[in-house]
Amino acid sequence: MDFALILFIALVLTGVVALWDRFLGARKRTTSEAIGRSVVSGTGELVTKEKVGPSIIVEYARAFFPVILLVFVLRSFVVEPFRIPSGSMLQKLYIGDFILVDKFRYGIRLPIVNLRIFPTGAPRRGEVMVFRYPHDDSINFIKRVIGLPGDEIVYDQKRLFINGTEVQQVKSDSYQLETSRQELYVIEFSEVVGASTHSILNDRGRTSRTMTISVPEDSYFVMGDNRDHSNDSRFWGFLPTHNIEGIVVLTMAHRGLGPTTKEAIKWR
C-alpha cells in the first residue's frame, strides 16, 4: 500500500478519535463526574468516585494526531525525502543517496489522487525530478527533463538533438566500472541542457536506438544521466504531467548505505 495512503488513513482515524473525545467523550466524562459527586450513600455521606479519564486509545490518538498532521502536510505540499534505488542517474546520484524533493515548485496537488489544483510553475529542461512511473504508480522514478511539451527530440548514435539543435557534449573522462557480472567501459561527458551543466555516462559496449519523436501537450520526455543503463522515456514513452511529484532540491550523500560507484549497476 502507498505510504501516502497509509499516512492519510492514520490521520483520519486519529483525527476522528480526537474530535470525538473533544466534543463528546470529554462531555460524557464531565457528566459522569458530576453524577458521582451528587450520589450519597444510605447514611447520607458523599460517595467518593475516581475521576474518569480518557481511554488509552483516545490518549494515543490525541498525542499522535498533531504529529501525523504535520508530517502529512509537509510531505504532501512542501518537501518529501526519497532514497535513490538505482544507478540510472550516475554520476550525479549514487545508490543509497538521500534526496529532498520540493513538492511546491510545480504546483499544489491534492494528496493521494495527485491532482494539481493550483499551478506554481512548470518543469524546465535540465531539471532533475521525481515522478510516479506511468505504468505503475506505486514506483517512483528519478530522471532529468530533456523535452518539454511541443519539443522535437532526436536521439541518434548517442547524440541528442532538441528542436534541431545538437546538445553540447564534451568528453571529460573514460574509465571502467566493475560489477559482479561484468566490466563496463564508460565514457563520461559534460552535457548542457537548458540551464544545467551535468555529467552523463555512455557505455562503449552498447549500441543505442535511433528515434525521432515530438512531445505531446501535458507531457515530458525524460532521460537518465547514465544513458545506456536507464529505463526512461526512450523505452516506456512520455511522462504525463499528473505523474510528477516534484523537483530535486537537495542531495545528501550516504555512500555507506549502498554500493560504491563501481558496484552501482542496479539500473532502473
Q: List residues with catalytic annotation.
A: 88, 143
Q: Which helix or strand (DSSP H or E) is residue 60 part of? A: helix 56-73
Any residues with CB less than 8 A from the CB of 13 and at least 6 apart, and which?
61
CA 2 centroid distance within chain = 11
All three cell numbers of 66: 498533531
Distance CA 31, CA 38 (A): 11
CA 63 centroid distance within chain = 27
All three cell numbers of 242: 499528473
Q: What are phi and psi of 123, to 5 degrees?
A: -60, 145
CA 61 centroid distance within chain = 27
All three cell numbers of 87: 544507478
CB 205 within 8 A of CB 197: no
Q: Which residue's C-alpha cell is 500500500?
A: 1
The CA-based diameter of the chain, rounded to the nearest angstrom, is 101
Distance CA 251, CA 147 (A): 23
- Characterize 56-72 residue by residue with b for buried, 16 or more Cβ atoms within 10 angstroms of its Cβ, and e for exposed: eebeebbebbeebbeeb
